[in-house]
Amino acid sequence: MEFRRIFAAQLQHSLKVLTLPLPELKAMVEQELNDNPFLEETPPKPDDQLPLPAGDKIIGQDLSFQMEQITKKTSLQDILLRQLGMCTATDEELSIGQEIIGNIDDNGFLKVTTEEISTSLDIPIERIENTLKIIQGFEPAGVGARNVSECLLIQLDATSEKDPLLRKIVATHLEDVAKKNYSAIAKAINEPLERIHPLIKKILKLNPKPGRNYSTEEIRRIIPDIIIDEKDDELNIMVNNEDIPTLNINKSYQEMLKKNDLDAQTKEFLTEKLRNAQELLRALSKRQGTLRKVIEAVVEVQQDALRQDLSQLKPLTFKEIAQKINLHETTVCRVVMNKYVKTPFGVVALKKFFTSHIHGTNGQAISSTHVKGLIKELIDQEGKKKPLSDQDISLLLAEKNNLTVPRRTVAKYREELKILSTTYRRER
């Protein structure tokens, strides 16, 4: 029983270390150094990089990427993954849920269609929809929606709001709500303005971006966990251990623990501290190896995009990488979340390399990143007095690029590109 308890604690610690991005890992290691007498810091020798795997190195303070500043947000995904672990009944539900959560943005919206997830995982769409329904019951209320209407309707469900008129306005007249065109709403649903106003007040109290409640935005320096650069046509991968102290077990305290005259309380204290120190060293070594395995597998798939342009990213899922390197999907998910990569094109989130896909008419899988680029190109070239509707874009993608992209998917990608709808793009 004691062994199982210790093993469970070690596993929990290892998973925590695996999840941490570099700045938080550094803070945790420094705290452990202060708290645990068995841990000591030793300055690394120039040629001694152990326990780093071959090819890794500690990066100096003077590299330019340290000056790059980006906006960092606390992870909504971590909050959702915790709830997923408590609410799923089968491994398949867990797998589907991880894929869904990996595609939820910081505002709380699902960035891909259930059809795309179904294709990626080769699982019937009904099961994808069922798992999405579970996630849409998580906190924050409205998370996992595919559009603002669905988001607000989920919030109404959470409060048991059943007024059919209120739900109708949310479902079909949000654009008029945004424009404050209340008379148009009243006319469309054949109700007096007096009946409409209190319903509008209720709608305005709902949160159209539920994920933002869990995201504190701050500007801070991000030190990437992985550095990828190209030299002599080769992509070099380094797992960055910037400023992470090199740890050893203090031999003096080890000798002290061997003494026979130690009282029971001191012996128990030192034994626990030694176990914690060894546990941390194992977790750090495992993090290093696992992170390298994952990024090497990702680079093998995405090497063309890393050499040419990140818009050329290929479709990739957590499941594919997990199968490739014989890890569990949850482990890959933990590795990816909150990590950053320095590429030849700048610092990007590691999860950017995992992109959903759709199929062309020839059956070939095309990444959603590439499709978004095509949509932006079409909109850039449109006539400003008669801009393209989402349906027009869907038809043009089929005609020009042999891609089957439903109108709803076009709308989702357009919103992710922060491009306004036809109504707001039209020049009068």
Instruction: Give the rounded percent of residues in the chain with a pLDDT score beyond 90.
Output: 22
**342 closest CA partner among 14, 22, 104:** 22
Which among 236, 169, 237, 234 is positioned nearest to 201, based on CA atoms?
Answer: 169
Q: Which of 361-370, 373-382, 410-419 has the lowest mean pLDDT?
A: 361-370
Query: Is the backbone of residue 242 left (phi > 0), alpha (psi -120 to 50) or beta?
Result: beta
Q: How far is CA 234 from CA 202, 243, 298, 387, in A?
A: 58, 27, 15, 44
Tens-place pLDDT, residues 65-82: 443 444 444 578 878 887
Element (H, E) at 62: none
Ranges of H-type helices in 264-336: 264-307, 318-325, 329-336
Q: pLDDT per residue over 336-373, tens digit each? A: 888 899 998 888 889 888 876 565 555 555 677 778 88
Would you state the structure tokens that stand for residue 175, as one six-digit string? 């654009």
Rg (CA), the chain: 26
Residue 378: closest CA among 388, 368, 366: 388
- Nearest Cα residue to 77 out of 13, 138, 151: 138
| Ordered structural domains, the chain, with CATH | 2-66+221-352 (no CATH), 74-216 (1.10.10.1330), 357-425 (1.10.10.60)
Angstrom distance (rounded) from CA 317 to CA 322: 9
Tens of pLDDT along 21-80? 888 888 889 889 888 998 998 765 544 333 333 334 333 333 344 434 444 445 788 788
Distance CA 32, CA 284 (A): 12
Opening angle at CA 280, ends 342 and 218, nearest 5: 40
pTM score, whole prediction? 0.54
Beta carbons within 8 Å of 103's beta carbon, 6+ residues apart: 110, 111, 112, 117, 356
